[in-house]
């Protein structure tokens, strides 16, 4: 076990391989600070870059490190040997030394060669974006399945990068990118890692079989599933808690809401009741992120099973993010990889409490459902939208006439449907009932003729 230690000092390296940016006086960027959206749309690109850098910083702090220094590189294209240019490598080495960085974190993926060359040139460990995200996942995985998946992804990432990683291997168990499998496997040979990969695959298979059985049992009772999906930090867990608190059964256990990224790794389910009285199974899932490494997406496929099984997807977006459109595109890309773009999808713009009046009005008049999960605003409208999107087990309206002695039937309808126009005729109750077809089907013998 790693000994608890002071947070690691990280040198953050951001790279931009696009065309050169228009030169803008430095002060202008500062002056804009505080204004969420630039009035001048030509600033949008820089605004986006700022918020990408902010996202990177948040990832780093979510991994438990502190920012010791930041370096930025802009060049037309990546250097195959070192990613950044050779002059920049020297600058990085100098900055890492003077900032006493333990680790340099590059906001980009590195090839095995680039990683090795950078490690040789810098006085500290080097990790890339994939490793950073894997580390956060390793910290947050709670279930056995989640942990197995992360370890598998870490090993698969590590295999082609084993040779010559002296610095990483001499600091076992210490810090980002060396947690988990790093502690025991790093110094051993490739073959042992491959054996462990096989073992993990087997264990995962077993865990998944059990889950599949559980799901089958669950599906024998027809409750439609609704999955919350979205970019990390969009507010999915906050919304999940708000809805289960409002509409759940008994005291549902709350899920973790956190400003840290990827707070949720393991899916969580709870039954909630819609305004039609119909029950659905709501699931909270892992968040997505820009450039989510492909190996991760495949290893998290099982976790995202809930998304594939869902009848309706609720896409939770952070309306207050400067990169909300980019985030939306990213989420839709992952949904495409999961082959679920054809499912009914409700778009939700969350965190409207953070918007200015004008913007809030613009959002409210758009097609998305505007909510604040935190302030519990707009949730009824969202539930109604979910109701409207469900086609499995549709809501029917029927006239029923039921003997008052049928207490069970009356109680079941009371609990699972909306009843109006109730009238008593002797020992019969006649009423109009709007409820799910599956429920009404059970009482079809009470339907009024004609």
Ligand X SMILES: Nc1nc2c(ncn2[C@@H]2O[C@H](COP(=O)(O)OP(=O)(O)OP(=O)(O)O)[C@@H](O)[C@H]2O)c(=O)[nH]1
Touching ligand X, residues 254-283 (CB under 6 A):
257-259, 261-264
Both structure tokens of 224: 């439609």
Q: Is position 55 an interface residue for ligand X (rule: CB under 6 A)? A: no
Q: Quick one: which segment of 170-178, 231-239, 273-281, 382-390 binds ligand X (CB under 6 A)?
A: 231-239
Q: Shortest gap between Cβ of 395 and Mg ion (angstroms)?
A: 30
Least spacing, CB of residue 102 vs ligand X, in Å = 25
Cβ atoms 266, 255 nearer than 8 A: no
Tell me: does residue 374 bind ligand X (CB under 6 A).
Answer: yes
Give the N- to C-terminal CA distance of the chain in Å, as an integer: 74
In whole angstroms, the minimum distance from the beta carbon of 215 to ligand X comes to 22
Supply φ then ψ for residue 25, to 5 degrees.
Answer: -55, 140
Q: How far is the CB of 61 from ligand X (least distance, A)?
A: 13
Out of 175, 181, 235, 435, name the contact with ligand X by CB under 6 A. 235
Per-residue x/- marks for Mg ion, 252-271, CB under 5 A? -----------xx-------
- CA of 375: how far to CAs of 98, 285, 378, 379, 417, in Å? 45, 21, 9, 10, 28
Which residues from 228-257 bind Mg ion, rule CB under 5 A?
A: 236-237
Question: What residues pair up with 13 in beta bridges, in sequence order?
Answer: 71, 106
Region near ligand X per CB under 6 A, out of 32-40, 196-204, 244-252, 346-354: 346-354
Q: Segment near ligand X (CB under 6 A), from 123-131, 251-259, 331-339, 440-448?
A: 251-259
Residues 33 and 47: their CA atoms lie apart, in Å, by: 10
From 130, 131, 237, 321, residue interacting with ligand X (rule: CB under 6 A)? 237
CB of 65 to ligand X, least distance (A): 17
**Interface with Mg ion: number of residues (CB under 5 A):** 4
What is the smallest separation between the CB atom of 267 and ligand X, expressed in angstroms? 11
Task: Say which entry of Mg ion, ligand X, none residue 149 contacts (CB below 5 to 8 A, set by partner kind).
Answer: none
Order across the sheet with 395-403: list the strands. Answer: 395-403, 428-436, 418-425
Q: Give contact residues for Mg ion (rule: CB under 5 A).
A: 236-237, 263-264
Q: Give contact residues for ligand X (rule: CB under 6 A).
A: 230, 232-238, 257-259, 261-264, 287, 350-351, 353-354, 372-374
């Amino acid at each position: 076990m790693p000994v608890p230690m002071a947070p690691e000092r990280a040198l953050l390296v951001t790279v931009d391989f696009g065309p050169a940016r228009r030169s803008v006086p430095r002060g202008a960027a500062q002056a804009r600070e505080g204004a969420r959206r630039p009035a001048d749309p030509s600033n949008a690109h820089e605004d986006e870059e700022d918020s990408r850098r902010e996202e990177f910083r948040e990832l780093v702090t979510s991994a438990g490190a502190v920012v010791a220094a930041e370096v930025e590189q802009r060049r037309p294209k990546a250097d195959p040997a070192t990613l950044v240019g050779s002059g920049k490598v020297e600058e990085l080495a100098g900055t890492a030394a003077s900032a006493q960085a333990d680790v340099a974190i590059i906001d980009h993926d590195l090839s095995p060669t680039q990683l090795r060359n950078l490690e040789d040139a810098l006085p500290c460990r080097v990790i890339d974006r994939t490793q950073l995200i894997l580390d956060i996942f390793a910290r947050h995985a709670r279930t056995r399945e989640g942990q197995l998946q992360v370890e598998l992804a870490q090993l698969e990432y590590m295999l082609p990068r084993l040779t010559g990683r002296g610095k990483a291997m001499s600091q076992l168990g210490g810090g980002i990118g060396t947690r988990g499998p790093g502690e025991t496997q790093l110094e051993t040979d490739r073959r042992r890692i491959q054996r462990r990969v096989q073992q993990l695959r087997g264990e995962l298979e077993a865990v998944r079989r059990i889950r599949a059985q559980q799901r089958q049992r669950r599906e024998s009772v027809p409750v439609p599933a609704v999955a919350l999906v979205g970019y990390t930090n969009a507010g999915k867990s906050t919304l999940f808690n708000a809805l289960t608190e409002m509409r759940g059964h008994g005291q549902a256990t709350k899920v973790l809401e956190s400003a840290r990224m990827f707070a949720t790794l393991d899916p969580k389910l709870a039954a909630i009741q819609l305004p039609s009285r119909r029950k659905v199974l709501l699931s909270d899932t892992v968040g997505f992120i820009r450039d989510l490494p492909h190996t991760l997406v495949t290893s998290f496929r099982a976790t995202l099973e809930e998304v594939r099984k869902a009848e309706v997807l609720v896409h939770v977006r952070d309306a207050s993010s400067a990169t909300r459109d980019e985030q939306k595109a990213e989420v839709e890309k992952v949904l495409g990889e999961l082959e679920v773009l054809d499912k009914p999808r409700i778009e939700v713009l969350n965190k409207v409490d953070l918007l200015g009046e004008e913007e809030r009005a613009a959002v409210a008049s758009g097609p998305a459902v505007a909510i604040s999960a935190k302030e519990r605003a707009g949730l009824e409208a969202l539930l109604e939208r979910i109701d409207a999107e469900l086609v499995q087990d549709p809501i029917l309206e029927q006239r029923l006439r039921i003997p008052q002695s049928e207490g069970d039937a009356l109680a079941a309808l009371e609990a699972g449907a909306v009843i109006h126009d109730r009238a008593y005729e002797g020992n019969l109750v006649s009423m109009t009932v709007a409820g799910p077809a599956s429920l009404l089907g059970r009482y079809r013998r009470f339907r009024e003729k004609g």
